[in-house]
């Protein structure tokens, strides 16, 4: 089904490839298909177990999931300046605790085949300019993933010079890309985006960056009394703009016993209009009735900042401190929504500098969207032998507005509305590239990654747990073979 849906795009890509090659007689033609074809693959096995993520309110205690993923990535070089890429995968997830995707998303009990990416990239547009055009379904990602870490149908112009780089893109998910129905829900449809980023290295190892995204949700305008599907609802339609800046960099050898000092700071704002639906039970369990339609003015802001200190002492630890904030809405009845929300393309899971694998920015168990929150964090990282790291991270969470909800979080307990303190969490993470660590070589294996995470969460008075069920636990074990 997915392949048939993509036939028109494949034909278009073929025509574009052919016309580009004919239009560029000076490019370097290749005679051998195999010389220009790159084939890579991976197999990923992941086991997750969690306990009491609802704080006892639904009597759901221990849950686990086993996920198996296989990916095949094909790259082809049509000429010196024209590249194509195809990325497909199969996923099998069994269990109720969900699987952790590399985009930061959580995928629940399902099986599917998926076309993740298919794109063409033309470098050196107009001859000598450092511009690249990339068209098709592609991964849009930035290092912290506060803004984006998703695959999306897009056309993107990328520029890259010695001191400046960035891109401008337009995108909208146009075609189903999975063999089940979970890829293209109503709240994913008809969301047109214009977005981009710019990074300037104003001094060696010091960067100023700016990002923006405009989203126009042009889906159907439901009316009061209309019936909508219970399991496929689009309750929010928005025309909003995000803007933000990031300043970051590092200082080297700034003090005795301090080999490097890293800093970063994001300031972000969102404003525009949103149309929000409320629903009540419908004539059947599969349908709900639109009971109210409200138009809101949106204005919120957020911060994400941190510092890291690489110490030149035994064990070579790195100390980490961070603060993140997303504004909340203090009055849900005044027609304004002052809560910050992220772009919908965000991941909040990143690989920091020399990390082996990505970890959650705001904790493995709580893993919230940055909205109506204050988050304080601290941690320490140790290198283990040559190709492994050990991280111990601590997080503390508060609501910005105690009577306002969270947009999303891994803890699903009930908020009291009477207190701001959400709780605290501790994560222990071990990551390793096993082949490098143990000096192993293989004719077909490229790398083998191992990641182990154990996290605990203890709720505060903002939650109303059942009885004394204030503690939650989550553990992850993952091994990945790359070919």
Q: What are the tens digits of pLDDT across the range 87-127?
A: 999 999 999 999 999 998 899 899 999 999 999 999 998 87
The pLDDT, as a whole number, for residue 468 is 82
Count CB-CB contacts under 10 A for residue 203: 9
The pLDDT, as a whole number, for residue 395 is 98
**Using CA atoms, how far apart are residues 433 and 356, in angstroms rounded to an integer?**
7
pLDDT band, very low/low/confident/very high, at 366 (cuts 50, 70, 90): very high
The pLDDT, as a whole number, for residue 304 is 98
What single-letter DSSP state applies at residue 186?
G
Burial (CB < 10 A; 0-12, 13-18, 19+), residue 314, is exposed
**Using CA atoms, how far apart are residues 144 and 209, in angstroms rounded to an integer?**
12
Residues paired with residue 194 on neighbouring β-strands, in sequence order: 170, 214
The residue to which tokens 């980023």 are assigned: 197
The pLDDT, as a whole number, for residue 9 is 41
> Is 472 a residue whose pLDDT tops 60?
yes
- Mean pLDDT, the chain, rounded, equals 89
The pLDDT, as a whole number, for residue 229 is 80
pLDDT tens across 243-262, in order?
Answer: 999 999 999 988 999 999 99
Burial (CB < 10 A; 0-12, 13-18, 19+), residue 106, is middle
Residues paired with residue 210 on neighbouring β-strands, in sequence order: 198, 245
Q: Which of 51-55, 57-61, 275-279, 466-470 has the lowest mean pLDDT?
A: 57-61
- Number of residues assigned to the chain: 483
**Using CA atoms, how far apart are residues 350 and 366, in angstroms rounded to an integer?**
16
The pLDDT, as a whole number, for residue 28 is 47
pLDDT, average across residues 322-334: 93
pLDDT, average across residues 439-452: 92
**For residues 208 and 438, which has the higher predicted lDDT (pLDDT)?**
208
pLDDT band, very low/low/confident/very high, at 401 (cuts 50, 70, 90): very high
Percent over 70 (pLDDT), the chain: 90
């Amino acid at each position: 089904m997915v392949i048939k849906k993509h036939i028109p795009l494949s034909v278009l890509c073929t025509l574009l490839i052919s016309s580009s090659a004919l239009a560029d007689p000076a490019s370097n033609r290749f005679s051998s298909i195999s010389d220009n074809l790159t084939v890579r693959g991976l197999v990923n096995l992941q086991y997750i177990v969690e306990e009491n993520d609802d704080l006892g309110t639904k009597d759901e205690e221990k849950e686990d999931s086993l996920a198996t993923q296989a990916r095949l990535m094909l790259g082809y070089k049509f000429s010196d300046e024209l590249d194509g890429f195809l990325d497909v995968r199969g996923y099998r997830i069994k269990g109720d605790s969900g699987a952790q995707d590399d985009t930061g998303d959580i995928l629940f009990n399902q099986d599917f085949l998926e076309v993740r990416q298919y794109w063409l990239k033309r470098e050196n547009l107009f001859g000598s300019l450092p511009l690249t055009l990339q068209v098709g379904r592609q991964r849009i990602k930035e290092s912290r993933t506060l803004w984006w870490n998703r695959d999306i149908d897009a056309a993107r112009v990328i520029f890259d010079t010695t001191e400046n780089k960035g891109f401008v893109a337009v995108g909208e998910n146009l075609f189903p890309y999975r063999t089940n129905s979970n890829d293209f829900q109503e709240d994913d449809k008809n969301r047109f985006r214009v977005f981009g980023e710019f990074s300037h290295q104003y001094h060696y190892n010091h960067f100023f960056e700016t990002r923006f995204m405009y989203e126009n949700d042009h889906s159907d305008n439901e009316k009061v009394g209309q019936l909508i599907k219970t399991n496929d609802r689009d309750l929010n339609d928005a025309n909003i703009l995000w803007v933000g800046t990031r300043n970051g960099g590092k200082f080297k050898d700034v003090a005795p016993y301090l080999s490097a000092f890293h800093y970063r700071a994001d300031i972000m704002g969102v404003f525009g209009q949103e149309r929000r639906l409320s629903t009540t039970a419908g004539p059947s369990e599969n349908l709900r009735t639109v009971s109210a339609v409200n138009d809101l003015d949106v204005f919120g802001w957020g911060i994400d900042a941190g510092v890291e200190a690489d110490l030149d002492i035994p064990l070579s630890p790195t100390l980490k401190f961070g603060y993140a904030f997303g504004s909340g809405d203090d009055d849900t009845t005044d027609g304004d929504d002052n809560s910050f929300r992220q772009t919908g393309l965000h991941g909040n899971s990143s690989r920091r500098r020399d990390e082996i694998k990505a970890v959650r920015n705001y904790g493995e168990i709580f893993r919230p969207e940055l909205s109506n929150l204050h988050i304080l964090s601290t941690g320490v990282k140790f290198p283990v032998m040559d190709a492994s790291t050990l991280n111990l991270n601590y997080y503390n969470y508060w609501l910005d507005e105690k009577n306002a909800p969270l947009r999303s979080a891994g803890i699903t307990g009930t908020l009291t509305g009477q207190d701001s303190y959400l709780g605290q969490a501790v994560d222990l993470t071990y990551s390793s590239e096993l082949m490098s660590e143990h000096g192993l070589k293989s004719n077909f294996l490229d790398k083998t990654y191992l990641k182990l995470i154990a996290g605990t969460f203890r709720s505060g008075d903002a939650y109303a747990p059942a009885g004394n069920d204030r503690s939650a636990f989550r553990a992850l074990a993952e091994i990945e073979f790359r070919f």
